[in-house]
Structure 1
C-alpha cells in the first residue's frame, strides 16, 4: 500500500510539473534538466510498478 500511494503521489506531482513547465522548446540547460527529471521520474514509476507486479509499456 505504501508503494502504491507513493507512486500515485509522484505521478500527480509530475503531472502538475508537466502541465506548468514546458519541456521542449527550451534553452539547452533547462531542456536537459527537465528531460532528466522526466527520465528519472519514469524510471522510479517503472520500478515501483514492477515491484507491484504491474507491467509497463516502453512507449505509448
Structure 2
C-alpha cells in the first residue's frame, strides 16, 4: 500500500508544482524531492519483486 500511496501523492504533487520552471532555490529542492521519491519507489518495487525500467 505504501508504494501505491507514495506514487499517487507524488503524481498529484508533480502536476501541481512545476519543477523545471521554478526559480532557484525552489527548483533544486523540488529536484531533490523528485530524486528521493524515485529512489524510494524503486526500492519499494524491487522489494515487491517488480523490475523497474531505468527510464520512461
Q: TM-score range by the shorter chain?
A: over 0.9
Give me the CA root mean square deviation: 0.6
1:32 pairs, out of 28, 35, 39, with 28
How many residues are aligned here?
56
Moved over 6 A (4+): none
In 2: Cα distance, 1:58 partner to 1:36 partner: 18
TM-score by length of 1: 0.89
- Structure 1 or 2: larger helix share? 1
Kindly state the Cα deviation for residue 37 of structure 1 after the two structures are TM-superposed: 0.4
Instruction: Identify unmatched segments of 5+ residues in structure 2.
Output: none
Q: Which of 1 and 2 has higher RCO (CA within 8 Å, sep 6+)?
A: 1
Partner of 2:19: 23
